[in-house]
Amino acid sequence: MYKHKPKEKSWSTAKLFKVYFNEMRLPVCGLRYAFAVVGHKWVRVCIPIHNIKFKINRSMWNNMDIQQVKGKNSVKTIT
């Protein structure tokens, strides 16, 4: 099964990242693939497998362990 980035217009510039979420106040934790739109003050995040969307501060995003996934527009998941 493949999951693609959200189809809404505001997610058209989203990039795929491999992120380790380690904050207790976030709705997810652990190592995840996530689409993110990085702005000046905020980062909008979408977890494609569960369709969870949330917004975090840019400073919190910069403190996380992040790797951008290059050359992929979808996430392959095993069910």
Band of pLDDT at residue 79, cut at 50, 70 and 90: very low
Residues paired with 6 in a beta bridge: none
Rounded Cα distance between 40 and 57, Å, is 9
C-alpha count within 13 angstroms, C-beta hemisphere, residue 6: 20
Residues in the chain: 79
DSSP sequence for 27-54: S--EEEEEEEEE-SSEEEEEETTTTEEE
Percent of the chain beyond pLDDT 90? 71
Query: What is the set of domains in the chain, with CATH numbers?
Result: 2-72 (2.30.30)
Query: Considering the entire predicted model, what is its pTM?
Result: 0.82
The per-residue pLDDT of the chain, averaged, comes to: 87
pLDDT score of 64 more than 70: yes
